[in-house]
Every structure is written in structure tokens, then in C-alpha cells.
Structure 1
Amino acid sequence: MATCGNILNELLQTGEVLETELEESNGGRPARRYKYNADYSYIICLNVKTEGGIHSLTYAVANLLGDIIIENTSNVPHIDYEVIETQIGELINNYGNVKAIGIGIPGVVHQGIIDVCDLDLLIGVPVGPRLQDKYGLEVTIENDMHLTVYGFYNMQNYDEDKTFAIVTFPKDNFPGAGFIVDGHLLKGNTKFAGEVSFLPFDLTREEQLKQLNSTEGFVPLAIKTITSIIAIIDPVSIALTGELSKPTLLDDIYNGCLKDVPKEHMPEIFVKNDTHDEYMRGLISVTLESLTYNLQLVEKRK
């Protein structure tokens, strides 16, 4: 009791916990009641995106329960480190007590450094370390598909751990994917998992991009991509997103996969054109998790 009381008093003094009205008395001294102050501090989440030649930044400021306080999207001529830093600096100045920053990018991130990316001006840039040095905050930078599949999976509220995949086919850019395997986000050794444009299609990257953006070329490449995913992780469902993913093509894609995959192993395949909410939910979740102890209970397999 004494230890808990001391901790509670410290949290009250800092404002992280608030005292509310007294509990109704049942004959004795009424109990004190407290609640967590979700607005004690905030996190900043930034979604960096390019599709169809349009560059955009979507930011969200969320409280410690993950509730979005404000969200806004703006189109910009280009996206480089300075654009990102300026946007984050403005938000830090406008919202006091920011504790963490989360950034989603269309590319591969390893130790805070951008590797393969749809935004050429970010390739090779140590965005994470530079932002940490400047603001002294916890900075998480993650692949956009990892974030989307993480948010999508968590919003399904499955009763048991599942294996799930999401694949995006954006216009004028290479496809990407995100995987949940037995309830856990799959990133890989160097965070390269999901870079499905590097599958052995026997095409140059220029030829692949040209073929993806034609109707007759898109379906065969989509079939090869999805067949590979089914054979490797055996998901219960695969969601297709991006401008090139159209419901009218689903039957052709599904039947094409059946040429190599036995029907009993075929997952549900569906189109989810708008994944903004799932993306932001994943980004907010991983940013909040960066503030917690990195401990995880894992069930021992028999």
C-alpha cells in the first residue's frame, strides 16, 4: 500500500494522473478515485506518401490513449528531410509535452536510415537519428505497409492469432506488402520483408513498372505476387489496396492463383481501396509502444 501510494502521489504531482470525485460511501470512509490523464502528453505521427506523382504529408497529434486530437493532410511539391523536420518542428511548438514521433514511409527503413524508397530525396538519409539529435525525443520510422497491416489486423479483433497479408499496388510506383504471421508483425532481418517488387519476375524494374500500369500486364504480375505470398505464409485473408487494385479484377486474380494453389489453401482475397484509418491506427500504435518497456510475454510452444 505504501509503495503504491508513493507512486500514485508522484503521478498526481506530475499531472499524469488526476483525482476525481470520491467513491460513494458504504458506511466507512469513502474511497478516493483517480483516472489516467490521457492528455498529459502527446505523440506526433506523420504519414509520408507519394502516389500518381502527388506528394503529401498527413500528420496526426494523438494523446496517450491513441485518440486523435487533430489531423490534417497537405500536398507538397517534394518531400525531403527538411520538409519533414519543418512539419514536426511546427507541431512540437504548437503542442506542449510531445513525447514521441512516428513516421510512416513508402520504403525500407533500417536503424532509422531510409533505404529503398519511392521518395528519391529520402534514400540514404538518416532521418531517425537526425530527428532524435535535434529534438531529443523517441523517433520511430516504419514502412507504410507494416503499419497498415498492423493497424488493419488490430481492428479486426480476431479471437485467436491469425496470419494475414495486405498488398498495395499504387499507380506509378512499385508494389509492397505487409504480413502478420500468427498474430505477429513480420519485418525480417533488415526490415526488407514485404518488398514484393523484388520477386524474380524475370523483368527489369523498368519493365515491371510499365507492365503493372497496364491492365493486361497488371493481372499476371498480381497473380505471381499473391501466389508467392500464399505459398510462403498461408494467410487467412489478403487485402489488396492501391489505385491499381480494382474489384472487377478480383475474379481473374483469384482464378489465376488457382492454377498453382490448391483451392483448399486459397485465402479470402478482397479489395480495400481506402486504408487511411488502418494506416493511422498502426502508426499511432507503434509510436505509443515506443514509450513502453520493450518486454513481451510469449507463450511457450509445446
Structure 2
Amino acid sequence: MTQNQNLIRQQNLNRLETFMFEKGTAIKAEMAKETGLSVVTINALVKQLVEANILLEGEAVQQPLGRPALNYAFNYDLQHDLLLSIQEEKTADDRKLILFGQIVNLKGTVKYEAKRPFNQVDLNELLTHVQHFLKQVENLAQIGLSLPGKIYQGVVVSSWGDLFDGWNIEAALATLTDIPVRIQNDAHLMTIGYSRLHHLSLDNTVVGIFYPENSMPGISIFSQGTLVEGRHNLAGEAKYLPHLIDAQPPADEQAMTESVLEILAIYNAVIAPGAFVVRAGPLSRLPIENSLLPNQINIPAIYFVEDFQASVTMGLRWLVMQESPWKMIL
């Protein structure tokens, strides 16, 4: 088979895999109709995908005319990923960290989940928690970790309360397992996850603002389906903005509103995004009419993240599927 024929076959295979990933189940006639491929090509590709365990043979389905046809199902359990999120959990009188973990299949179906207290913030405790999850499923393919911090060349350089600064998490996890590990900032993952969940256009630039109560904000820039980061991966550290670098976290909702509006005005002037994705303490809306935004040329859409965990989880799925043929389907 020539190189050109190989390329065409791989393109056809990717087209069929993508269709089945989205559809879930189909008979060969449906596959041919929806992909535009010939029945002969579909027969060959289905045989290859069944042998690779990507498609599973189901029961025969009686057709209106002719003989019954086999139904095929995409095997979402072909791969399981461990999605971990270190995040703050606020109680009435305290701030503490937890590690929330889920093991999901390719469809995102949760096979196992647990929330574990992260009381002693050190690498050994993190490894203990990860070991717990590694014992739950045998065929884990990848680990994704959401971190309240930024990583440069494997080392955390800026983090929640500076507690993780200097950590080389990937190297530490390598002492436990050879499963590939991907680590990313929580503001980035929230922004990407929300954008994917709500089908925001990849042609636009989206700026995310994650501003936890009693803490300082992180910023994410997601453009053309790609994260935009600066030197040392520090683009988005809003705590270094002039009005925040020497400031304390907002004391009340009014102070947080004013701070968020100032951040919006700065990034709207500099980036001119199509949309902002905002998670800021208890805020669910902003009095835009009292801000600088109406005086600026760019008029962005502003979305508020109601379900932080759902957005981070989707962001983590995007993260671990970057090398997957199905990454753009999420």
C-alpha cells in the first residue's frame, strides 16, 4: 500500500472513529450513510476497529427490509483516566484544601470518585492520596491534575498561599507510576472546560477569571483552541496587576465586584476577547453599567461559572485527551 493510500485509509478510519465516538452505536449502513464512505470501506474499517477493541459487536437488529444487521458500539471503557483537582473548600470558620478525584471512561462516565482532605500540604500526602486512586482501576491510561498554581519546567512557581512553590509534582508521581501525568492551572482548566461544555466558539478568544473568596485571582486566555501563556508560564497571574500587587483579598462582595470590574476593563482593552468566563466568589452578575466597559469599543459576552467542578472536570478531560484522536469531540 502506497503512502498516499495509507494516508487516505487513516483519514477514513479517523472519520469513522469520530462518528462512532459521537453516535455511540450504529449498524454498518448508518456508518456508510453518515460518513459518506462506501460499504466496502466500512466493512474493512469496522473489522480493524473490532480487532483493536475500539468497537464492540452487539446484537443483530432487524431491518425493515432484508436480513438483520449487527449493531456496533463504541467501547468507551477502552480507556480510563484519573482526574484530580486540588481545590479550596471553604467552611463557616476555616479554609482548607481537598483533593477531589474521579476515574472516568472516554465518555466521561464516572467509575469511581472520592473527596479526600488535604490537611498536611506536602508531596508525601499527595502521593498517598494518588496511591488510593491508583488501586481502584487497573487500566488507567493517564492522570490529569488541576492545581491552584502555575508550573514552569516541571516546577511550581506560583501557587495558592505559596504552599506548592518549588514542588516537582510530575517527578514525584513518577516514583509511584509510569502512567503519563498532565498538570495544569485550575483557572485554565475551568475556562477551557466551561468553553467546551457550553460550546463557545473556538474561533473566539475567551478570557477566564477565577477569583476565589479570601484569595487572589487567576486569569486564563484561551484562543483558537489553544492556551496563551507568557514567559515562565506566568501569563494570567492577576495578583501582580498594579491594583492588586500590594492588596489583600476583597473583604466583601462590593470590593470583589469592583476588583473584578477593573480586571475585566484591563483585559477587555488589551485582549478584546469575544467572551469572559468568570467565577468570582459569590458573584453571579456584575453592574456593568457602572464600570468602564460601556466606554470601550469591544463588547464581550460575560458568562458566570455556576458549576465549578463540572467545568474543571471537562477541562481535565480536555487535558488528558490532547494526544487522543477524539480530543476535538469534547
Q: Distance in 1 between matches of 2:88 and 2:238?
A: 18
1:265 is the counterpart of 2:298: yes
1:101 is the counterpart of 2:143: yes
1:11 is the counterpart of 2:52: yes
Amino acid aligned to 1:209: Q
Of residues 76, 82, 85, the one that matches 1:47 is 85
Q: Distance in 1 between matches of 2:82 and 2:306?
A: 25
Most deviating of 276-285 and 158-167:
158-167
Question: CA 1:111–1:133 in 2, change beyond 3 Å: closer, same or farther?
Answer: farther
1:223 is the counterpart of 2:223: no
Q: Distance in 2 between matches of 1:216 and 1:40?
A: 49
Query: 1:117 corresponds to which residue?
Result: 159
Contact 2:277-2:305 within 8 A present in 1 as well: yes
Amino acid aligned to 2:218: G
Shift of 1:156: 1.8
Count of residues in correspondence between the two structures: 282
SS of match in other structure, 2:76: coil
Q: Structure 1 segments of 4 or more deviating over 6 A?
A: 293-296
Q: Give the fraction of aligned pairs with identical amino acids, expressed as a percent.
A: 23
SS of match in other structure, 1:47: strand
Amino acid aligned to 1:105: L
Question: CA 1:24–1:199 in 2, change beyond 3 Å: closer, same or farther?
Answer: same
Most deviating of 117-126 and 56-65:
117-126
Question: 1:131-169 deviations in whole A, cap 9, x for unaligned?
Answer: 134300110000001100001111122466222222122
Of residues 277, 282, 299, the one that matches 2:310 is 277
1:255 is the counterpart of 2:290: yes
Q: Distance in 2 between matches of 1:102 and 1:33?
A: 33
Question: 1:195-215 deviations in whole A, cap 9, x for unaligned?
Answer: 1111233x6x4x3125x3355
Contact 2:143-2:180 within 8 A present in 1 as well: yes
Q: Distance in 1 between matches of 2:167 and 2:304?
A: 34
Q: Distance in 2 between matches of 1:129 and 1:293?
A: 27
Query: 1:150 corresponds to which residue?
Result: 192
Q: Distance in 2 between matches of 1:36 and 1:294?
A: 12
Question: CA 1:79–1:284 in 2, change beyond 3 Å: closer, same or farther?
Answer: farther
Query: 2:98 corresponds to which residue?
Result: 56
Contact 1:114-1:126 within 8 A present in 2 as well: yes
Contact 1:41-1:96 within 8 A present in 2 as well: no
Q: Distance in 2 between matches of 1:137 and 1:229?
A: 38
User: What aligned pairs does 1:57-96 form with structure 2 within 5 A after superposition?
Assistant: 57-96=99-138
Amino acid aligned to 2:120: H
Contact 1:41-1:98 within 8 A present in 2 as well: yes
Q: Distance in 2 between matches of 1:27 and 1:208?
A: 74
Contact 2:158-2:164 within 8 A present in 1 as well: no
Question: CA 1:110–1:237 in 2, change beyond 3 Å: closer, same or farther?
Answer: same
Query: 1:184 corresponds to which residue?
Result: 226
Contact 2:131-2:176 within 8 A present in 1 as well: no
Question: 1:260-301 deviations in whole A, cap 9, x for unaligned?
Answer: x635423233543542211111112211334x26999xxxxx
Query: 2:320 corresponds to which residue?
Result: 287
Query: 2:247 corresponds to which residue?
Result: 208
Higher RCO (CA < 8 A, seq sep 6+): 1
Q: Distance in 1 between matches of 2:111 and 2:76?
A: 11
Contact 2:142-2:320 within 8 A present in 1 as well: yes
Query: 1:300 corresponds to which residue?
Result: none
Shift of 1:97: 0.7
Question: CA 1:236–1:5 in 2, change beyond 3 Å: closer, same or farther?
Answer: closer
Query: 2:204 corresponds to which residue?
Result: 162
TM-score (norm 2): 0.74
SS of match in other structure, 1:134: coil
Query: 1:233 corresponds to which residue?
Result: 271
Which blocks of at least 5 consecutive residues in structure 1 are unaligned?
297-302
Shift of 1:126: 0.9
Q: Distance in 2 between matches of 1:108 and 1:244?
A: 24
TM-score (norm 1): 0.80
1:36 is the counterpart of 2:74: yes
SS of match in other structure, 1:234: coil
Shift of 1:11: 1.4
